[in-house]
Chains A and B, each alone.
Chain A
Amino acid sequence: METESTMTLTAPDASARIDAEQEAELQARFDALIEADQRIEPRDWMPDAYRKTLIRQISQHAHSEIIGMQPEGNWISRAPSLKRKAILMAKVQDEAGHGLYLYSAAQTLGISRDEMTEQLITSRARYSSIFNYPTPTWADMGAIGWLVDGAAICNQVPLCRASYGPYGRAMVRICKEESFHQRQGFEILLELSQGTPEQHAMAQESVDRWYWPALMMFGPPDDESPNSAQSMAWKIKRFSNDELRQRFVGMLVPQAEVLGLTLPDPNLRWNEERQAWDMSEIDWTEFNEVLAGRGPANAQRIQHRRDAHEEGAWVREAAAAYAEKQAARERVAA
């Protein structure tokens, strides 16, 4: 049977031994599977570049889920009611779960969990720069759910059909759970928006801060996104950055009306002729600053993750020691 588990590391070695002719044949088989919209599974032959691209993308995605627990975890102890607190805890727990699904998917490509953790806490791996923004108000829990999780869903739904089987399957689970995240965020904003003038202002201020960073989550414009074409040819990515951004904005506009909140772009309007949304130019210098690690909370996020990893070491060691002791006892008994 085919397991979802970590792929044997013998495959790359074995591929070094096969000659050019065999490789061409394997490449042809791989191309045919992609062409036929079939999935690639962990132990299939795949081009090195495909494997590398997936490891990078899936591990970044996993790191984003794990780091993404922090901006919201910040509000668990400050939630305005027991109900909101319970919901927020469930959501943060989901993010941990999503991180684990994705780490498992990445492991099937031959990278270990420890290696990925190491890359994250030594700042050699990236995660979505959206989580480097601070969450100073309760309304941010609403804006994150509505805008950040909303953008994530827009990105992730097409990934359920990604050509790499374990990635697609992980995304199916994640997408099912994300829709709760977006709705709970929308509800927080709606209640604030319909509350006191101060609450309404808090909701609007938060949307003003998160709107542009959320649009930047789709990545650079198509003509400046060099890797996109290859990812689309491999059917990892199904739609371009700009297509997804347009789709997202189209969903937000009527939702913002229901919320009674304004999207902070005076130039945002439907262009009948282009059949697309006109919008203001995105300020990519800010995006690049945050991406380069100079965002408001980059250092804090990584430090926190590193501390949690190091301070939790004794728990992992104790669990391993206990397991070893029990196994030794069983050997003696047998």
Chain B
Amino acid sequence: MSTPGDVAGEGWPLYEVFVRANRGLSHVHVGSLHAPDDDMALRNARDLYTRRNEGVSVWVVRSSAITTSDPDQKGAFFESPAGKNYRHAKYYEKSAEVPHL
């Protein structure tokens, strides 16, 4: 389905912003902003989302470049793992009393 972000009437493209708070952590989505190009998006992201040392690294990506799942299809799309609770450790109860298992 179409990605959110391409709204008629917006002058500049929309970017999604991801910030890595510290070494060893993933980049996490923090919000979005509009910018004329990638460089400006990165600078604006720094000013908008890291005014208090919130990050050591920033990613920006055009929202239109992101492919998303369709929330209306939620049930069908995520159906596969349903009923497969044997994929979780707590499905196996017989080992409950055994140490280090």
Interface status of A114 (Cβ within 8 A of chain B) = yes
Q: B: which residues have CB within 8 A of A?
A: 2-12, 14, 16, 29, 31-34, 36-37, 40, 47-48, 51-52, 63, 66, 68-69, 71
Q: Are A104's CB and B32's CB within 8 A?
A: yes
Q: Which of A127-135, A246-254, A259-267, A317-325 contacts B (4 or more CB under 8 A)?
A: A317-325
Q: Are B71's CB and A43's CB within 8 A?
A: yes
Q: What is the CB-to-nearest-CB distance from B58 to chain A, in angstroms, rounded to a whole number?
A: 15
From A9, which residue of chain B is reached at the shortest CB distance? B7
Q: What is the CB-to-nearest-CB distance from B30 to chain A, in angstroms, rounded to a whole number?
A: 8
From B2, which residue of chain A is reached at the shortest CB distance? A8
Binary CB contact string for chain A from 95 to 108 against chain B (1 if under 8 A, 0 otherwise): 00100110010011
B-contacting residues, A230-278, CB 8 Å: none
Q: Are B71's CB and A4's CB within 8 A?
A: no
Q: Are A4's CB and B29's CB within 8 A?
A: yes
Instruction: Give the total of A residues in contact with B, Cβ under 8 Å.
Output: 39
Q: A: which residues have CB within 8 A of B?
A: 1-10, 41-44, 90, 93-94, 97, 100-101, 104, 107-108, 110, 112-115, 169-170, 173, 177, 316, 319-320, 322-323, 326-327
Q: Are A3's CB and B10's CB within 8 A?
A: no
Contacts of B63 in A (CB 8 A): 3, 5-6
Q: Are B4's CB and A114's CB within 8 A?
A: no
Cβ-defined partner of A107 (8 Å) among B7, B66, B69: B7
Q: Are A10's CB and B2's CB within 8 A?
A: yes
